Structure 1
Amino acid sequence: MTEVWYVAVDSVPAGLAALLDDGDRERLDRLARQRDRARSLAAWTLARLVLARWLQRPPERLAFDRTCRHCGAGHGKPVADPAVDFSVSHTGDLAVVAVSEHTVGVDAEDTTAGRTPVTWALSEPERAQCRDYASFARVWTRKEAVLKALGRGVTVRPADVVTSGTTLLSLPPGLGDPRDFTLHDLLFPTPYVGTVAVRGNPGQVTVRHGSTLIDAHRLR
C-alpha cells in the first residue's frame, strides 16, 4: 500500500512546531526566508503525523536517521522505521508526503512557477513532450520522484533519468533497473501537479487530504 497526503501550507499553524525535534527546528531556523520556513514546517509536521498513523507512535517521539546510504554523511534520505519508507515535497502553498511499504519518492510542482521549460534537465525525447512550462513541470515531477526514491537528489543529472509518460525508460549505470519503478501521476488542486515513484509493486495508491490530521492536533 502507498499513501500520498497533502495540505495547504497556511493550514498548518506555527504551534505545531512543538511536534518537531531539536534537529528539525534547527533546520527550520537555518532557512533565511519566512515562506521557506513555513513550507518546511508544513511538510515535516505532516510527515510526522502520517508516519505516526502508520507506525502507531506519538508523532513527537519519532526519530529520523539521515545517514546517507551512499557516502555515510548526514544528508541522506530520512528513515523513521526500516519497515516504512517516506518522501516529502513542498512547493508554493502545497506540502506533500508519500509513505509506503516500498521504496518511494514524491515530488510536486507549481505549473505556473516558470515561463519556459528548463531544457538542460530534459533528455532529447522529453524535450518533445514539453511545449510549455506546465508540461515541463509534469515531466520534472516524474524525474524528481525517481531521484528522491533513489536518495540521490542532485548527485545525478536529471537529463539522465529518462521518462515517457509514466514509464521510466532509463537510469544512469549503477542505479538499478528502470523496470523496477512504477510512476503514478497525482491530482492536486490547481495549479499543482505531482508524481509518486515506487520501487516494486505499490499496490493501491491513495491520495488523501491531511486536514483531518492537522485539525486533530490543532485542537489539542
Structure 2
Amino acid sequence: MPLIRVRRAGVVPAAVLRQRLTPDERARLDRAAPADRDAVASVLLLARRAVAEACRVEPDAVRVRRRCPRCGSAAHGVPVADRADGGPVPHVSLSRGGDLVVVALCDAGPVGVDVEPVRPIGDDLARVVLAPGEPPAAGSHGLLRTWSRTEAVLKAAGTGLAVDPRALRVSDAAGRPAVRVVDPGAAAALTPAPGTRWWLTDVDAGADHIAALAALLPQDASSTLDDSSSPLA
C-alpha cells in the first residue's frame, strides 16, 4: 500500500537555521531573494529531515537537490532526493506559503504539494486557473483551493506552470478533488501512464492556509496518508 507522508512546519528565521544547513543548502539560501530566505531555509531543512525520517537514516546522509526533467539543469526543476549510501529514496515535493512550509514524500510515484496563505483573491485568478465549465473547489476559499490543487498536480506531473493550468480540471461537479485533463495538447504531459492514476486530496493546513496534495499511484492501490507537524526550532 503506497505511503504518502506530509510534514508541515512554521517558518523559522534563516539566521537561526543557517548553521544546520549543508554547504549546498546555504549556497541555495544565499541565491534566494532576501524576503524569501526564512522560508527557503525552513523548507530545505524540513525536506532533508523528512527524507531522512522516511529512509531511517541521519539527516546528514541525505541530500535534496533540483533536477529539470527537460534540460537536466540542477539550477531549477523538481526536487530529487539522494542518499549517501545509494539506498532507495521517496519522491519528494516542497512548498512554502506565508509562514508555513510543507514537504510531501511518496514511495510509489511522483508527488506534488502546494500550500497557499489565505488571502483576498480577485476574479483574475478564475481566468487563469479554471478550465472551461469547471466549478471552483467546494467550501470556503474555493478559487484559492482550486489553485492549490492545480499546482499540486502540475508539480507531480513535473511540468509546473510550463503547462497552462486550464489544461486540467481539479474538481468534479460537486467541487470535490478530482483530476481530468481537458486540453488534448497537454495530454502527453498530464495523462497518467498505463497502470497508474491521479490521486488528489485537500490537506488540512490550519485556518490561515490552504493546501493540496497530488500523486501518481498504481491503478489499483489504495494509499495511506501520514500527515503531521514537524517543528524546526
Q: Same fold (TM over 0.5)?
A: yes
Counterparts in 2 of 1:48-197, with a 5 A limit? Answer: 48-74=48-74, 75-81=76-82, 82-102=88-108, 103-116=110-123, 118=125, 119-126=127-134, 128-129=135-136, 134-164=141-171, 165-170=176-181, 172-177=186-191, 180-197=197-214
Give the superposition deviation at 1:155.
Answer: 1.2
Unaligned ranges ≥5, structure 2: 83-87
Give the superposition deviation at 1:130.
Answer: 6.6
Give the superposition deviation at 1:88.
Answer: 0.5
- Aligned sequence identity (%): 30
Asked if structure 1 preserves the Cα contact closer than 8 Å seen for 2:92 and 2:112, the reply is: yes
Q: 1:83 to 1:26 in 2, by over 3 A?
A: closer
Normalised by the length of structure 2, the TM-score is: 0.80
User: In the alignment, what sits opposite 1:32?
Assistant: 33
Q: 1:203 to 1:17 in 2, by over 3 A?
A: same
Among candidates 193, 199, 209, match of residue 229 of structure 2: 209
SS in 1 for 2:155: helix
Normalised by the length of structure 1, the TM-score is: 0.85
CA distance in 2, matches of 1:113, 1:44: 28
Give the superposition deviation at 1:65.
Answer: 4.5
Structure with greater helix percent? 1
Residues 158-188 of structure 1: per-residue CA shift (max 9 Å, x gap): 1112222311011612124357110011111
Q: 1:157 to 1:133 in 2, by over 3 A?
A: farther
> Which deviates more, 157-166 or 142-151?
157-166
CA distance in 1, matches of 2:62, 2:153: 25
Asked if structure 2 preserves the Cα contact closer than 8 Å seen for 1:66 and 1:79, the reply is: yes
Asked if structure 1 preserves the Cα contact closer than 8 Å seen for 2:203 and 2:210, the reply is: yes
Give the superposition deviation at 1:113.
Answer: 4.9
Aligned pair count reads 210
